[in-house]
Amino acid sequence: MYINIYPNTSEWNTLTQRPYKDNSLVSERVKEIINSVKQNGDSAILRLTKALDAPSLERITVGLDEIEFSKTRVSVDLKNAILLAKENITTFHTSQIKSEPKTETSAGVTCWRKSVAIQKIGLYIPGGSAPLFSTILMLGIPAQLGGCEDIIICTPPDKQGNIDPAILFTADLLGIKTIYKVGGAQAIAAMSLGTESITKVDKIFGPGNQYVTEAKSQIQSLGVAIDMPAGPSELLIIADSNATSSFVAADLLSQAEHGPDSQVILVTDQEEKAKQILAEVTIQLSELPRKSIAEKSIANSRIIILKDIESCIQFSNVYAPEHLILALDNAETYSEKIINAGSVFLGRYSCESAGDYASGTNHTLPTNGYAKSYSGVSVDSFVKKITFQNITKKGIQNIGPSIELMAAAEGLDAHKNAVTIRLNTIDNER
């Protein structure tokens, strides 16, 4: 990890840059994949999946027999852990559902808003070396609470054409039965365009590698929404003199093991504490099964020493991390000063892993600085808000003259006339 001691604020923008990666070749390849799926549907999906994931795959649809068999291959302890997470995630996301009152903005003018579920949802669930069955909970639960009727899952198979049992068990736990053995950009293309087997959806959710991320970016031009711009995972920790070095090191490595392009940042006002944490990182890293991945991430990461905790908070707001841990005494007292972050973890025992799995908050969060303008996934992500207005005769008389003046000032005479014709009719009725 690079160590930067007391950098000037003029250097902060440079220090908050994420690792650069030239995606031009990825972009071209994704375009080719999308066009292939558009022209050839299921045959393109099967060909790409055989080439990239499972050479002997014969069908892309997960059968009910496979789902049932998965239940026998997940341990009781893991099933219970998933059930606990499901309960907490459901509890937290249920609290987000609120009805909005009707509001009389002027006499005779009543306005209100209601939430309407997005009908068709596609969930992308990464497989491979880290099958993210937890993401099914994070996306499927708020989708169901929001009222989404059709939810499908695409997830890549292993080389034998199988889906990780925990993924199938978790999907079944939520009642999601439509699952496809498709990964990568081809999965995003299939859900965006629709094929003979895969339903075209209205919005796509879920993390993925650079091909998935690029595909999600490109398919927006096809009229399909995505959850948010996404990139590699990231974590920023602010630590004071009393932070537990082993805890902080473990948290840094928990995020670093996501992938070689992940980034972790430690910000502190204590140079000696930074050295202690770095020593702990070295010790713990040597024992990780995913050491080679975490090492590459650590190489992209930084330790920044600033003059005080207030400056550390300011730096964090410039960086706008996906995950932010405040390893501070009285951490909650600083919470109001956080203005840019995806999800914040307060205090010594609030590890980022808790948010990834079972505390109840959502782990699908904005990365790459997008926390300045985007929120993490919530029930609101799965609904659209429709406004209504009911204007009575008295109401149009109250606001009509103002509408006429404003429309005329903008040169929109038809807008003005839509009001004038009503006001004249009311006058003639008298």
Which positions are catalytic? 322-323
**Distance of alpha carbon 58 from the chain centroid:** 32
CA angle 124, 350, 143 (to 5 degrees): 30
Q: Locate tokens 């045959």: which residue?
A: 43
Q: Compute CA distances 83 → 32, 72, 288, whole Å.
A: 41, 16, 27
CB atoms within 10 A of CB 189: 28
DSSP for 99-149 reads: ----EEEETTEEEEEEEEE-SEEEEE---TTS--HHHHHHHHHHHHHHT-S
The values of phi and psi at residue 295, to 5°, are -60, -40
With the CA atoms of 423, 428, 429 and 430 taken in that order, what torsion angle do they form, in degrees rounded to the nearest 10?
A: 100
In the chain, what are the helix, strand and coil shares in percent, each to the nearest 5?
A: 50, 15, 35
CB atoms within 10 A of CB 334: 19
Given a contact cutoff of 8 angstroms between Cβ atoms, the answer to whether 125 and 136 are in contact is yes
- Name the β-bridge partners of 114: 386
Give the span between the Cα atoms of 226 and 219, in whole angstroms. Answer: 9
Structure letter (DSSP) for residue 61: B
Q: Residue 193 is encoded by which pair of tokens?
A: 């365009």
* Residue 162: closest CA among 256, 262, 292, 56: 56
